[in-house]
Chains A and B, each alone.
Chain A
Amino acid sequence: MKNIVPRGYMLLKDNIVREDNLFGFPSKVKGRWAEGLSLPRKGERLLFAGCGYQFMSYAEPLLEKIKGMEDKGVSVDRALSFTMGLRKLGVNVPALLSKVSFGREDPYTTVLLDAVRILKRLKEDFAYLGEEEPCCGSPLYYLGFFEDFARKAGEAFRRFKEAGAREIIGIVPACTSSLKNLHPKFVDGYDLEVKHFVEYLDEAFDRKPVKLRLDRTVTIHDPCQIARFLEISDVLRRLLSRVEGLTVLEAPTSREFTMCCGGGTGLEFTLPELSLKIAAKRVRELLETGASTIVTCCPGCLMQLRHGAEAVRAEVEILDVVQLLSQALEG
């Protein structure tokens, strides 16, 4: 019996194993958002940017392709089985790379730029590995590729150590949860302290109080990994409570009871229609709070919620917590 593992998931696995990132793009793309920021490559504290924020703008056209296939009545699974690899999928990689903008106009890398801005403003020391940043391999674990995951985890640990790291600040919840909870189970002598950006910032604001102000009414979408795996929904709220003028309207399905955006495990890669339906449902649920801004802190959730909002034709602003805090710092 063959082909039990859905092709979309095999594609994710091959991308990570071959190209060291979720979407199979050349690794040199990783650090593009940070060009000109002159961030140190070595240090005790590393900012771990993760595949999601760094690649999502490149990955969206790829996902559109996958969705398009399902719409035409070709099962995604079958389509992917004979079109493994980006080029075969009809994605012209060099053309895509030159076309996609990043930075302020891009909803994903702008989050990273805001994160750097906040850290610099607080005069916190940190390094960033750029194109040397390893993929945490988290999807390999969730898809059951334990051997590949163990290899990735070992490689990541080695690169962190070479950079002199003792502490990792993750910004993608799934990567952070993987580096914090899963890597120690697969790597001997794992001794890195791992925190999510939200936790780190909350502590940093304690040490260095700053004025945060933003007049806005928002509702929070807790990413699954934040709520149920890292279990820091309370920290996220404490952090947001520092912002004057901010009103938070809670959905009944929040904190540890938060509803998945439909992107868990990468479902959008195998059953995009189902995944989108779940996203649309989640957006409707969040808008029932009366807020017209949704705040979250995960690149996967950001994308799913954006697509969900389009599907239900909702006028809604979707912000990452980091973007919101960056705006509040100016305000």
Chain B
Amino acid sequence: MEAVKSRKIELALERAIKAYRRNVENALARHPHTQKLAEEVRKIKEESVGRMEELVKQAMDAISDSKGQVYLARTGEEALKIAEEIVGSNRLIVKSKSLTCEEIGLREHLEKQGNRVYETDLGELIVQLLGIKPTHIINPSIHIPREDVAELLTKVTGEKVPPDIPEEVEAVRRFLREKFVQADVGISGANVVAANTGSLVIIENEGNARLSTGLPPVHLALVGMEKVVPTFQDAMKVAEVTWRYATGPSPSYVNIISGPSKTADIEKTLTYGVHGPRELHVVFLDNGRCEAAKHPVFKEALYCLRCGCCLYECPVFAVTAGNFGDVYFGGIGAVWTAIVSGRIYGSLEGLARAALIGYTCLTCGRCRVKCPMKIDVPSMVVELRRMAVEKFT
């Protein structure tokens, strides 16, 4: 394992982990109701995953009513095809961070179709420009020091960017500003979706998701089916727990999107596409999720809020970062790899890939006690290994 040898990664991670723990500790102390709320959210997720297909249908109806266009993709390939038809080619695309997009390789696919796609989350942009894999689901570039970032930005922007973090951020702001304005399509995921109102909730700090989803004339959102919860109030609870464990007390922005931009200010006649997008396309992605929802052990993986807490607390992740996983990292990442990379029972190749990640898990259970959803990752990893024994020995 090359990553183990890199002391640089370990040092960067050590700092990131310390800062993360401090943030979340402060956030929980300031908002002590969070732990109880997390228990409530676990129940909401249990119910939602049990009724996933029904809730997704409800959300699709609600979005349609608001003149959004909806799709249900059963596989990653189907989702890529849908996205390809919406986007076309020769377009400029701004994208905010989305693990679900990464799961199906959406950016790479659209680039192959002749589109220019810019990641707008700073960490994700750095990783994109470097042409490497993200190492953490919330902070994709935690392992890259400022000196390397300055060098990279100097090369990309053509201006001399010093290794000073505020100046680096300013350079990125200048670089992306025109892309936001000129973009034909904005792409995002969603942290949670309310079935009754069809509202997508997107949590962020940088403001890039607002601009990506607000400025271009077309907004395309890709959402995993497990993100849908029954009501708007439920969605708010899920969102609060997610951001508290992901980033701290409160994020700078919470975007709520239920339809395309509209006005009826002239003669009470409804017209779409005022300042925001004229079109909203929401693609719900199955890709193994429905099968997982029926699995007695793996269904727990669908409760995951993707707050990234378990990764900061994982002993293996602390020395290997993104090398412990595929698109999804850590012990739970092994399980998600099984779910999305070939369906649990379907593809042996998917299972093999997942199992190989799973064998690096210590099954120490530290993630389970730190997880706001108390997801029993060791039991899922053991189940994954049991399946590997059944199929491969």
The residues of A with any CB-CB pair to B shorter than 8 Å are 1-6, 9, 141-146, 224, 228-229, 256-260, 262-265, 267, 270-271, 273-274, 277-278, 281-282
How far, in angstroms, from A308 to B142 measured CA to CA in the complex? 26
Complex contacts, B318 vs chain A, CB 8 Å: 278, 281
The residues of B with any CB-CB pair to A shorter than 8 Å are 1, 4, 10, 313, 315-316, 318-320, 348-349, 352, 355-356, 359-366, 368-370, 382-393
Closest chain A residue to B4 by CB distance? A274
Complex contacts, B391 vs chain A, CB 8 Å: 1, 4
Please state if A267 and B360 are interface contacts (CB–CB under 8 Å). yes
Please state if A274 and B356 are interface contacts (CB–CB under 8 Å). no
Expressed in whole angstroms, the minimum distance between the Cβ of B365 and any Cβ of chain A is 4
Closest chain A residue to B21 by CB distance? A252
Expressed in whole angstroms, the minimum distance between the Cβ of A278 and any Cβ of chain B is 5
Can you list 10 A-B pairs with a CB-CB distance of less than 8 A? Answer: A1-B352, A142-B382, A142-B385, A144-B386, A144-B388, A146-B386, A267-B360, A267-B362, A274-B316, A277-B319
Please state if B392 and A264 are interface contacts (CB–CB under 8 Å). no
Partner of B389, one of A5, A264, A270: A5
How far, in angstroms, from A12 to B203 measured CA to CA in the complex? 46
Please state if A4 and B315 are interface contacts (CB–CB under 8 Å). no
Interface centre among A142, A270, A282 (most CB of B within 10 A): A142
Complex contacts, B10 vs chain A, CB 8 Å: 277
| Besides the known contacts A3-B392, A228-B369, A277-B10, 7 further A-B residue pairs in the complex with CB atoms under 8 A apart | A5-B388, A143-B389, A146-B386, A146-B389, A260-B362, A267-B360, A271-B360
How far, in angstroms, from A143 to B356 measured CA to CA in the complex? 12
How far, in angstroms, from A271 to B362 measured CA to CA in the complex? 11
Expressed in whole angstroms, the minimum distance between the Cβ of A172 and any Cβ of chain B is 16
Partner of A264, one of B355, B364, B383: B364
Interface centre among A5, A145, A258, A262 (most CB of B within 10 A): A5
Please state if B361 and A257 are interface contacts (CB–CB under 8 Å). no
How far, in angstroms, from A277 to B315 measured CA to CA in the complex? 10
From known contacts A142-B382, A257-B370, A262-B315, infer whether A274 and B389 are also in contact, taking CB-CB under 8 Å: no
How far, in angstroms, from A4 to B360 measured CA to CA in the complex? 12
Going nearest first, the 10 A-B pairs with the smallest beta carbon separation are A264-B362, A144-B385, A260-B364, A144-B386, A228-B365, A4-B392, A264-B364, A224-B364, A144-B389, A260-B315
Please state if A4 and B368 are interface contacts (CB–CB under 8 Å). no
Please state if A144 and B366 are interface contacts (CB–CB under 8 Å). no
Complex contacts, B1 vs chain A, CB 8 Å: 271, 273-274
Partner of B359, one of A145, A270, A281: A270
How far, in angstroms, from A258 to B315 measured CA to CA in the complex? 10
Please state if A259 and B389 are interface contacts (CB–CB under 8 Å). no
Please state if A277 and B366 are interface contacts (CB–CB under 8 Å). no
Closest chain B residue to A260 by CB distance? B364
How far, in angstroms, from A145 to B383 measured CA to CA in the complex? 10
How far, in angstroms, from A147 to B220 measured CA to CA in the complex? 48
Partner of A4, one of B4, B352, B370: B352
Please state if A144 and B382 are interface contacts (CB–CB under 8 Å). yes
Complex contacts, B315 vs chain A, CB 8 Å: 259-260, 262, 278, 281-282
Partner of B369, one of A257, A267, A270, A273: A257
Please state if A229 and B365 are interface contacts (CB–CB under 8 Å). yes
Please state if A273 and B366 are interface contacts (CB–CB under 8 Å). no
Partner of B366, one of A4, A6, A257: A257
From known contacts A260-B364, A277-B4, infer whether A5 and B382 are also in contact, taking CB-CB under 8 Å: no
How far, in angstroms, from A278 to B13 measured CA to CA in the complex? 13
Expressed in whole angstroms, the minimum distance between the Cβ of B383 and any Cβ of chain A is 8
Closest chain B residue to A146 by CB distance? B386
Closest chain B residue to A255 by CB distance? B369
Complex contacts, A224 vs chain B, CB 8 Å: 362, 364-366
Closest chain B residue to A280 by CB distance? B319
Closest chain B residue to A259 by CB distance? B315
Expressed in whole angstroms, the minimum distance between the Cβ of B390 and any Cβ of chain A is 8
How far, in angstroms, from A224 to B1 measured CA to CA in the complex? 25
Expressed in whole angstroms, the minimum distance between the Cβ of A258 and any Cβ of chain B is 8
Complex contacts, A4 vs chain B, CB 8 Å: 352, 355-356, 388, 391-392
Expressed in whole angstroms, the minimum distance between the Cβ of A150 and any Cβ of chain B is 12
How far, in angstroms, from A145 to B392 measured CA to CA in the complex? 12
How far, in angstroms, from A3 to B392 measured CA to CA in the complex? 7
Complex contacts, A257 vs chain B, CB 8 Å: 313, 366, 369-370
Interface centre among B313, B315, B370, B390 (most CB of A within 10 A): B315
Please state if A2 and B392 are interface contacts (CB–CB under 8 Å). yes
Closest chain B residue to A145 by CB distance? B389
From known contacts A143-B389, A278-B316, infer whether A260 and B366 are also in contact, taking CB-CB under 8 Å: yes
Complex contacts, A263 vs chain B, CB 8 Å: 362
Complex contacts, A270 vs chain B, CB 8 Å: 359
How far, in angstroms, from A1 to B353 measured CA to CA in the complex? 11
Complex contacts, A5 vs chain B, CB 8 Å: 355, 359, 385, 388-389, 392-393
Complex contacts, A141 vs chain B, CB 8 Å: 382
